[in-house]
Amino acid sequence: MIIIAKSTVAAQHIAQVLDHQNPIKPVFVHDNRVALAGVKTLPETELQEVKSEIVEIITNHHSAIKSSRDFHPEDTIIKTPHSVIGGQHFTFMAGPDSIESPAHVEAMGKAVKAAGATVLRGGAFKPRTSPYSFQGNGEAGLKAHRAAADALEMDMVTEILDTRDVDLVDSYTDIFQVGTRNMQNFALLKALGKKQKPVVLKRGMSATIDDLLNAAEYIAAGGNDQIILMERGIRTYDNKYTRNTLDVSAIPVLQSLTHYPVVADASHAAGVSKFVAPLALAAVAAGAQGLMTEIHDDPAHAFVDGAQALTPDEFKLLADKIRQIREAIK
């Protein structure tokens, strides 16, 4: 249940009266709105004390109540040291899939910054399908990534895989990334909910839109509302020509349902470099508020996912086209 109050003061009073300190039915307040998680209706007697302070009661809302636009109508804007994410802003996040060496990540960072990126992506811990594939350089990778981001005055985003590494990764990164395989790792989501730091939450490869929103709610329920939702392609009946199927429709649908920024990852959707740009442009035309892209100066010899990496020159061309599309759809 979401209650629209006559004022912010009234909302605080309503929350105080109706909050029974039930941990699985928490009460949230935003501006003049009160969200009662897990509550559909209340008896008239319980509302009697605050009835005069209520403008409207919404019961037909998404189960991810704190993530819902019914509770938080305006866009959430996330500010990091070098980026503004959400609303009318557009954010380029780019870099190598894996942190290969300090020199390499800094060189890739210089290239993507020159093209307009403010967030340097890269993986120090890599979730691989096979246990015999390269798993990342761990803390050494985090150190190299942080040093490059600082030298270039960029934000750092990197993937977190395990609750045991949350504090370690937190000590280096500006933005956490939860990958597709961990979208419903609820213990990890709860741990990130306790951190006051942005989280990029990738849609699970077989997840519905509701699954994604409810996963985001685990982070939000813990007190962290700095959430960035990412469409990165889902598995469908045909993956012969692309790695996944980019669900372009998910972008406007999510933006109608939630106040959190919605960005896209065309690299993992495509899986093949020649399809990355067309999918990225489609995502931007559909309203994506940012784009994450993998780049490498020698894709054939990349440690991870070279087949889907753009070269720095290709990324610059893509960034220029994206700016044109953004201008056209204003």
pLDDT in tens, 61-75: 999 999 999 999 999
pLDDT tens profile 41-61: 999 999 999 999 999 999 999
User: What is the pLDDT at residue 182?
Assistant: 97
User: How many residues are present in the chain?
Assistant: 330
User: What is the pLDDT at residue 328?
Assistant: 95
Question: From CA 58, how far away is CA 79, in angstroms rounded?
Answer: 30
Question: From CA 288, how far away is CA 148, in angstroms rounded?
Answer: 27
User: What is the pLDDT at residue 191?
Assistant: 98
Q: Where are the beta strands (DSSP E) in 112-180?
A: 119-121, 155-159, 175-178
Q: Which amino acid is at 317?
A: L
User: What is the pLDDT at residue 239?
Assistant: 87
User: What is the pLDDT at residue 136?
Assistant: 79
Query: What's the N-to-C CA distance of the chain in angstroms?
Result: 35
pTM, to two decimals: 0.96
User: What is the pLDDT at residue 131?
Assistant: 81
User: What is the pLDDT at residue 62?
Assistant: 95
User: Roughly what angle, to the nearest 10 degrees, separates helices 186-193 and 209-221?
Assistant: 40
User: What is the pLDDT at residue 135?
Assistant: 74
CB 17 within 8 A of CB 50: yes
How far, rounded to the nearest angstrom, does the alpha carbon of residue 233 sit from its chain's CA centroid?
A: 14
Domains in the chain with CATH codes = 2-58 (no CATH), 78-328 (3.20.20.70)
User: What is the pLDDT at residue 12?
Assistant: 97
pLDDT under 50 in the chain at which residues? Answer: none
How far, rounded to the nearest angstrom, does the alpha carbon of residue 22 sit from its chain's CA centroid?
A: 29
CA-based max dimension of the chain = 69
